Structure 1
Amino acid sequence: MYPTRQFVLASLSPKIILLTTYLVSGFSVAANIPLELITAKSSSQTLYLQLDAKVEPIKSATVAAQTSGRVLAIHYDVNDMVPEGAPLLEITSKEQGAGLAGAEAELAKAQAQNIEAQAQFERYKALFPQGAISKGAMDEATSYAKSSKQAVSAAKAKLISAKENVNYTIVSAPFTGRVTGKWVEQGETISYGQALLSGYDTDKLRAVFYVPQQYRQQLASLTSITLSDDVSTYQSDAINKFNFSTQADQSIEVRVQLDNQQQTLQAGQWLKAALPLAKVDAIYLPKSAIFQVGELTAVYRKQGDKYLQTQVRLGKHITSGAITQVEVLSGVMDGDNIVNDAANYVLLLNQTQTGNSK
């Protein structure tokens, strides 16, 4: 005895029954259902090699102590944004202040001595032609005037150095950027040359990636490149292509400068770099025209008064704004009329079948 039709259907999985329904119905429903159609048309597209690019800072620095003392205050922490010239850290300044006061006193003393020496020199210079001053006394006055003048210059230099030592007790940011490291804590005693804080300039970054040797000709002709993440796209023509390789696989390092005025990039993140390789003709359809269920990938193609379910093979996806285009490698030809909203068509199809069965 042969199994009944109901028994056969009960033996099949729901997925297979669903696929069978779609395949059969695709050939049986007339084209009088109002649908939006699009015409498949091949266009010239550029093939790209997708490479991983890591964002890194162009300008980074670690500020170090230029004087010794104890840390009084640290105004910024790791991950804080710091404007250029802002005070990062303060160091005790008693010793430096005492040095400044001593330098100011030495300068005042040197200036007073210089005034006296210059006045004596002028008097001797007026009396010497009259024979009232000996040659030895005149030479001594001349030497004293010169040395006292040099002493003033030396005292001024010491004063400048003392002022700088006082200024060094307040460590300022060399550029606008983000703090990435803090190497001391408040209350610690530090010495000359000790690392204090690290950071990088957030306005100018670069993306670094490596190109395999077989694409060196395409790289040589590269004048502009597009990089992207999940949110934004970045275009740059500031490309530094290395003429040597330090990698074990002999790939070529490429550095692309990126403008980060909008602060959408951060050091350490990954981008996709698109290296153009060649131009090919390809057919692209909107993602809405693709019907996928299980392992079935198809479009609904109009042929005569029917909509035929046609299995397709897909390639890469291209997203521009809110629209995603899908490359169709096989199954669709130029001039085919395709249902633009495949999901809506399947819904109408099911509703039509349900109405006909009643």
Structure 2
Amino acid sequence: MSRFWKIALIVVAVLVVAAVGVRLLHKPAAGPRAQAGAAAGKDGPGAKEADPVPVTVEPVSVQNVPVYLTALGTVQALNTVTVSPQIGGLLMKLNFTEGQEVTKGQVLAEIDPRSLQASYDQAAARKRQDAAQLATARSNLARSLDLAKQGYISKQDMDTLQNTVSQYEATVAADEAAINDAKVQLGYTKVIAPISGMAGIRGVDPGNIVTTSSSIVTLTEVHPINVIFPLPEQNVELVRSSQQRGEPLEVAALDSAGSKVIAGKGVLKVINNQIDTSTGTFNLKAEFPNEENALFPGQFVNVRMKVNTVQGGLVIPSQAVQRGPDGDYVYQLQPSDSTVKMQPVTTGQEVGDSHVMVTQGLKTGDQVVTEGQFRLKPGSKVKALKPGEVPAAPTEEELKKVAKDKKAGGRGGRRG
């Protein structure tokens, strides 16, 4: 039995050797992929390059860039007045419409004047009565002067006549004061707007009895109007130095998204004289003409204040800036070999809605990729397209391949 197994093992070994020999003799020729790999092995890493990636490239531009400080502000009326009557009485009429613009001196309401008119008439009549008595006393004094010279009237009687004239003069003066007071009180029956502004919701209705504590309406002056906003304390010196240059600092109010200017032509009026220690901020007040009523008291707005202008700033499209684990970067074109490198940058002030200023990492003449970055990695060969020319959208396979390559590259590849 052992001899049989030895012969079987020898036969199997011969068959295996024969099969390996046949496979080696009939090995197929290397295909295009294998030939490309062989060529890469002979010619080095540069020989295994894919087709150039089409990307849009734009040069770094030079502009004078305005520098802004931004904050969230609150709109505040220039003046707010609660209009109350200065006398009590029956409210007969309201001469304004809620929400209406009223002017200073306009009659807003009318209170029943009849009782005060009667008081005024009584004061006037009393004055006329006392004035007649004063005239009589003066006439008696004048006639007595001639008789006194002839010795017919004693000095005591002359003193009495003189004192009577003085007494009636004082009475007439008191009557004049009473008339003026009655006239003032009568004038209070017409409630006058103390400022120009927008009328709010009325607090009383005609026919009600009002007192000096009743609120008829609140007026808010909105032309011009103020915006109060805070800034961090580290900006104090920047704002103060900018203001000391002599030109008023321009301020704009933007919508809640911060993308649209709703009120311009604002100027900085006041820098508060102290810093809030609890928040580390200081308040500022800007004034706007508000000609189109774009700002409303109590409204929250985004505030943008221009504090400086950088001469000759370097500007690139915002879409060129990519965010990586180590900070912002751009793909910079290397004109010598049409490849790109990952260039770290430091960005500063936004320029309009589509550009941003670069403070570090680039120089004049550099070119950056603005479209097609998803296909790139450091060292990628690219085909540069002119601004306005957009490369074709990536296929699903390309997106998967790029994601796989970036994952394989890891942090080290992104730093390159």
Whether the TM-score (by the shorter chain) exceeds 0.5 is: yes
Residue in structure 2 matched with residue 148 of structure 1 by the alignment? 168
Instruction: Give the conservation status (yes or no) of the 8 Å contact 1:42–1:334.
Output: yes
Q: Does 1:210 align with 2:240?
A: no
Between the aligned partners of 2:200 and 2:280, the Cα distance in structure 1 is 32
Between the aligned partners of 1:26 and 1:178, the Cα distance in structure 2 is 66
Unaligned runs of 5+ in 1: 1-23, 32-36, 351-358
Q: Which moved more, 1:264-273 or 1:330-339?
A: 330-339
Between the aligned partners of 2:291 and 2:278, the Cα distance in structure 1 is 35
Equivalence map 1:59-138=2 (5 Å): 59-138=79-158
Instruction: Give the conservation status (yes or no) of the 8 Å contact 2:266–2:289.
Output: no
How far residue 68 of structure 1 moved from its aligned partner, in angstroms, is 1.0
How far residue 186 of structure 1 moved from its aligned partner, in angstroms, is 1.9
Between the aligned partners of 2:165 and 2:115, the Cα distance in structure 1 is 33
Residue in structure 2 matched with residue 227 of structure 1 by the alignment? 251
Q: Does 1:345 align with 2:389?
A: yes
Equivalent residues, number: 310
- Structure number with bigger Rg: 2
How far residue 210 of structure 1 moved from its aligned partner, in angstroms, is 1.8
How far residue 148 of structure 1 moved from its aligned partner, in angstroms, is 0.9
Residue in structure 2 matched with residue 244 of structure 1 by the alignment? 274
Instruction: Give the conservation status (yes or no) of the 8 Å contact 1:41–1:333.
Output: no
RMSD: 3.9
Residue in structure 2 matched with residue 318 of structure 1 by the alignment? 351
SS at match of 1:266: coil
CA 1:44/1:344 → structure 2, altered by over 3 Å: closer, same or farther? closer
Once the two structures are superposed, residues 191-221 of structure 1 have per-residue CA deviations (whole angstroms, 9 ceiling, x without a partner) of: 2343322112222322212222222222332
How far residue 291 of structure 1 moved from its aligned partner, in angstroms, is 11
Between the aligned partners of 1:333 and 1:222, the Cα distance in structure 2 is 28
Question: 2:315 pairs with 284, 297, 303, which one?
Answer: 284
Question: 2:284 pairs with 254, 257, 260, which one?
Answer: 254
Between the aligned partners of 2:343 and 2:202, the Cα distance in structure 1 is 59
Between the aligned partners of 1:271 and 1:126, the Cα distance in structure 2 is 88
Instruction: Give the conservation status (yes or no) of the 8 Å contact 2:79–2:220.
Output: yes
Between the aligned partners of 1:74 and 1:309, the Cα distance in structure 2 is 75
CA 1:75/1:300 → structure 2, altered by over 3 Å: closer, same or farther? farther
SS at match of 1:187: coil
SS at match of 2:216: strand
TM-score of the two chains, using structure 2 as the length reference: 0.62
Residue in structure 1 matched with residue 216 of structure 2 by the alignment? 196
Q: Does 1:40 align with 2:60?
A: yes
Between the aligned partners of 1:200 and 1:282, the Cα distance in structure 2 is 44
Matched letter for residue 327 of structure 1: V
SS at match of 2:305: strand
Matched letter for residue 106 of structure 2: A
Instruction: Give the conservation status (yes or no) of the 8 Å contact 1:302–1:338.
Output: no
SS at match of 1:182: coil
How far residue 336 of structure 1 moved from its aligned partner, in angstroms, is 4.5
Once the two structures are superposed, residues 272-323 of structure 1 have per-residue CA deviations (whole angstroms, 9 ceiling, x without a partner) of: 1336489597533467x8799xxxx99997969989999998876433xxxx
Q: Which moved more, 1:109-118 or 1:270-279?
A: 270-279
How far residue 244 of structure 1 moved from its aligned partner, in angstroms, is 2.0
SS at match of 1:95: helix
How far residue 167 of structure 1 moved from its aligned partner, in angstroms, is 1.2
Q: Does 1:272 align with 2:295?
A: no
SS at match of 2:238: helix
Q: Does 1:327 align with 2:356?
A: yes
Matched letter for residue 123 of structure 1: R
How far residue 38 of structure 1 moved from its aligned partner, in angstroms, is 6.2
Question: 2:187 pairs with 167, 170, 194, which one?
Answer: 167
Q: Does 1:27 align with 2:57?
A: no
Residue in structure 1 matched with residue 377 of structure 2 by the alignment? none
Give aligned-pair identity as a percent: 20
Q: Does 1:179 align with 2:208?
A: no
Between the aligned partners of 2:51 and 2:93, the Cα distance in structure 1 is 77
Q: Which moved more, 1:92-101 or 1:299-308?
A: 299-308
Instruction: Give the conservation status (yes or no) of the 8 Å contact 1:59–1:204.
Output: no
CA 1:134/1:317 → structure 2, altered by over 3 Å: closer, same or farther? same
How far residue 168 of structure 1 moved from its aligned partner, in angstroms, is 0.6
Once the two structures are superposed, residues 142-185 of structure 1 have per-residue CA deviations (whole angstroms, 9 ceiling, x without a partner) of: 01111111111111111111111111111111121112353222
Question: 1:49 pairs with 61, 69, 72, which one?
Answer: 69
Unaligned runs of 5+ in 2: 1-49, 255-259, 323-328, 372-385, 394-416
How far residue 77 of structure 1 moved from its aligned partner, in angstroms, is 4.0
Instruction: Give the conservation status (yes or no) of the 8 Å contact 2:350–2:356.
Output: yes
Matched letter for residue 242 of structure 1: N
How far residue 141 of structure 1 moved from its aligned partner, in angstroms, is 0.9
